Amino acid sequence: MRVAKNITGHLNKTTSIAPLVVFRVLFGFIMLVSIVRFAAKGWIKSLYIDPQYYFTFYGFEWVKPLGPTGMYVVFALMGVAALMIMLGYKYRVAIVLFFLSFTYVELIDKTNYLNHYYFVSIISFLMIFLPAHRSFSLDVWLNPGMAVSRVPGWTIAVIRLQLAIVYLYAGAAKLNPDWLLEAMPLKIWLPANAHLPLIGPLLQYSATAYVFSWFGALYDLTVVFFLSYNRTRPFAYLAVVVFHLCTALLFQIGMFPYIMILATLIFFPARFHEKFIAALTGWWHKMVPGTPNNQVRPARDFNLNPKYAILVGAILVLHFTIQLLLPLRSKLYPGDLFWTEQGYRFSWRVMLMEKAGYAIFHVKDRKTNRQWEVQNWKFLTSNQEKMMATQPDMILQFAHYLQQHYRDQGLNDLQITVASYVTLNGKRSRLLIDPATDLTSIRDGFSHKDWVLPMNRSPKTATLYHPL
């Protein structure tokens, strides 16, 4: 009871709003940058307009892209929302809009699933409930009455907790034999960067891969603790910067390193964030002389309207219960997780495996006994084909799409099988799916996919293409 009381006391103890506000500004900023970058790379078109088929998530088949105009509008809204979050303008509307538009886009096609997109979705979800706009925002500037200077501890703790979950699960996932004992997949990924100046030559040594692997696991498992204590924080944050900049340099992982470098600032004490705000304010006054300074007011505490307190509390408890349990669901399935990927997504398994595949779909018309192979590229983008080839649920989805495609052409008694060759962490490719399984007879779901061959008992090749 005493512990529980301590925790509740800690969560309700008021603290400076500064860390929360700085987090809001930086989050809005980095999201705006990410969205502009995404658009500039032409990915709105290539990922959400060009494909003729989208791999929806199980249970979210109703999520559809909105066509060229619609998708550009969605991304424009998302960008505007990010800007509004940064500026703290109509914050509640902006954060809800951002969460919905971002999550909608992520749900369109699981081909594009990335852990850090998931991270952005849930952080923006949590931020809906946080008073992150009650200081240093346009909302406060326009309506000084809503300004507060102190918030209950839980508003900052939820973000720290979410970050802790991400790092700890990511670290725990690295505690596997391939990562620790074989230094895989870094042994493959690092030498690919051997052309880099200075560190390049080092990356060819397998010892370097071991150092990186062990350091990476240690980093993920400990960084949150070291960030939490005053004495270790500067070193821990330096490690954050070095670690994530290293990953940015070595791997094609986009904005993730920068998001984490900014997000982890939430572990710094209020004083740090107050200085940051003061610096920004000073800079603003220098740039725009004569702006009235209405930020000076007596300290005031934020208190959640008791009407909502229970609701918000319940949502947060539920959220974190799910967060804690969801990554563990893979334990419910037999077989090698990396191979079957049952319960792989939404579990902070980041950069853990080098997996590649090639799926050859065989179609047989039972009426005429004719058979042929599908040219996947006629239906899928190269990115979709690549992602599909290693993930059983996507292979099944595509088989069903093919079934529908041929049914539309009048072929309604088909057998569709797949020879899917997959290599995992540099091991020789093997068949992922039982090549004898007629995928048209399989339904998707959360139950164990027994048509996925166990990795160690899977044959190397299948001769499926019988002469006509």
Partner 1 sequence: MNIKYLQYIAICIGLTVVVFSCSSGDDDTGGQTPPEFDRAAMLANYADNLILPAYSDLQVEVDQMAADATAFESEPTAANLETLQNALKSVRLSWQDANFYQFGPAETVTLRASLNTYPTDTDKIESNIENGGYTLGSIDNIAAGGLPALDYLIHGAEVTTEQIIAAFTTDPGASERMTYLVDNVAFVKSRVDDVVNSWDPAGDDYRGTFLSEGNGGTGVGSSISLLVNAMILHYERFMRDGKIGIPAGVRSAGVPRPTATEAFYGGYSAELAVANITGYKRLVIGGSGSGLDDYLEFMESDELSNDIQDGLDQSINDAGQLTDPLSENIENDNDGVIAVFTSLQEVLVLIKVDMTSVLGITITFQDNDGD
Spatial contact of 180 and 214, defined as CB atoms under 8 Å apart: yes
Q: Tell me how many degrees the CA angle 66-71-72 measures, rounded to the nearest 5.
A: 150
Q: Give CA–CA dist 126/169, Å, rounded.
A: 19
Residue 261 to residue 407: CA distance in whole angstroms = 50
Shortest Å, Cβ 265 to partner 1 = 14
Distance in Å, CB of 431 to partner 1, minimum: 10
Q: Which is nearer to partner 1, 201 or 334 (CB)?
A: 201
Handedness of CA 375, 381, 383, 385 (dihedral sign): negative
Owner of token pair 């997949």: 185
Whole-number minimum distance, CB 86 to partner 1, in Å? Answer: 25
Angle among Cα 248, 74, 326 to the nearest 5 degrees reads 60
Cβ proximity to partner 1: between 111 and 381 the closer is 381
Q: How far apart are CA 158 and CA 270, in angstroms?
A: 16
Q: Which helix (H) or strand (E) holds 414?
A: strand 414-424
Nearer to partner 1 (CB atom), residue 146 or residue 188: 188
SS3 state of residue 373: strand
Q: Which two tokens stand for residue 347?
A: 């579990």
CB of 206 to partner 1, least distance (A): 8
Give dist(CA 314, CA 308) in Å, integer.
10
Q: How far is the CB of 347 from partner 1 (least distance, A)?
A: 23
Determine the 3-state secondary structure of 58 from DSSP. Answer: coil
In the complex, what is the shortest distance from the CB of residue 342 to partner 1, in angstroms, rounded to a whole number?
21
How many residues are given for the chain? Answer: 468
Question: What are the residues binding partner 1 (CB under 8 A)?
Answer: 188-189, 191-196, 199, 201-202, 204-208, 211, 215, 234-235, 237-239, 242, 252, 354-358, 360, 365, 368, 370-373, 375, 377, 381-382, 386, 421-423, 426, 428-429, 461, 463, 465, 467-468
- Find the helix or strand (DSSP H, E) in which 170 lies: helix 154-174
Cα separation, 153 vs 10, whole angstroms = 6
The residue among 14 and 112 lying less far from partner 1, judged by its C-beta, is 112
| Residue 242, token pair as written in the block | 């070095």
Minimum CB–partner distance for residue 247 and partner 1 (Å): 14
Q: Give the nearer residue to partner 1 in terms of CB position, either 3 or 468.
A: 468
CA distance 106 to 118: 8
**Smallest separation, CB 370 to partner 1 (Å):** 3
Residue with smaller CB distance to partner 1, 202 or 442: 202
Select 238 or 309, whichever has its Cβ closest to partner 1.
238
C-alpha span between 429 and 424 (Å, rounded) = 7
- Radius of gyration (C-alpha) of the chain in whole angstroms: 25
Rounded Cα distance between 320 and 316, Å, is: 6
Q: How far is the CB of 433 from partner 1 (least distance, A)?
A: 14
- Contacts of residue 38, Cβ cutoff 8 Å, sequence gap at least 6: 44, 75
In the complex, least distance from residue 210 CB atom to partner 1, rounded to whole angstroms: 8
